[in-house]
Amino acid sequence: ETGVTQTPRHLVMGMTNKKSLKCEQHLGHNAMYWYKQSAKKPLELMFVYNFKEQTENNSVPSRFSPECPNSSHLFLHLHTLQPEDSALYLCASSRRDRNTEAFFGQGTRLTVV
Amino acid sequence: QKEVEQNSGPLSVPEGAIASLNCTYSDRGSQSFFWYRQYSGKSPELIMSIYSNGDKEDGRFTAQLNKASQYVSLLIRDSQPSDSATYLCAGAYNTDKLIFGTGTRLQVFP
């Protein structure tokens, strides 16, 4: 079992759909992150949660809504997305006292049609 | 605006050679630096962390940090075709925010 698990691996959704991405970490970490990776762009930090509290919202549009019910689980709720939101969405986790060594899940490849 | 900059490449090296990957960063407040390897279609994998000036070696990999010049590098000795991937440099701000460069694509040819 990998340390950080994301589901689903692939998702195709229409612009009027609502879907959720799930992330689970089994590493005993206390910080979790959502990143977006688009072609030819750096990994973009979207949200940071420390001990279930959101500590960073990097000017992300409200059509992306994160949820962190506990230190092991992180969700990204999606609604009324645009085609330009198509990207690889990566979840990561770390221990805050380990100089932010972050470990990534396999990612969800999202296509908005 | 905190930035981490890398040459996108591709950097092409023959098998057995040393591959040298470079990264610069804009914020002197960054404390820790990381190199990730990302194969096509896969997620980034942490390969090296470096926190203080100087060199850090791990197997065929050596990370170098020069905080005065705001420069981080990764050397891969005895490069193998399996090392062909995109290498991402990242700097940590505070303790919970990683800023990534765009990555350098490395190609190792037999």
What pLDDT does residue A97 have?
Answer: 67
Q: Which two tokens stand for residue B110?
A: 């037999």
Q: List Cβ neighbours of A40 (8 Å cut-off, separation of 6 or more).
A: B102
Q: Which two tokens stand for residue B77?
A: 């000795």
Residue type, B99: I
Q: What span, in angstroms and rounded, lies between the C-alpha atoms of A101 and A95?
A: 7
Residue with the larger pLDDT of the pair B50 and A55: B50
DSSP strands (E only) in A1-113: 4-7, 10-13, 18-25, 31-37, 44-50, 53-57, 64-70, 73-79, 87-94, 103-104, 108-112
Examine the pLDDT at A43 and tell me if it is beyond 70: yes
A-B Cβ pairs (cutoff 8 Å, strict) = 60
CB A48 within 8 A of CB A30: no
Q: Which two tokens stand for residue B2?
A: 């905190």
Q: What is the pLDDT of residues A11-25, one digit of tens each?
A: 999 999 999 999 999
Q: What is the pLDDT of residues B17-58, one digit of tens each?
A: 999 999 999 887 777 899 999 999 899 999 999 999 999 999
Torsional sign, CA B33, B53, B66, B93: positive
Residues of B in contact with A100 (CB under 8 A): 32, 34, 92, 95-98
Residues of B in contact with A59 (CB under 8 A): none
CB A108 within 8 A of CB A4: no
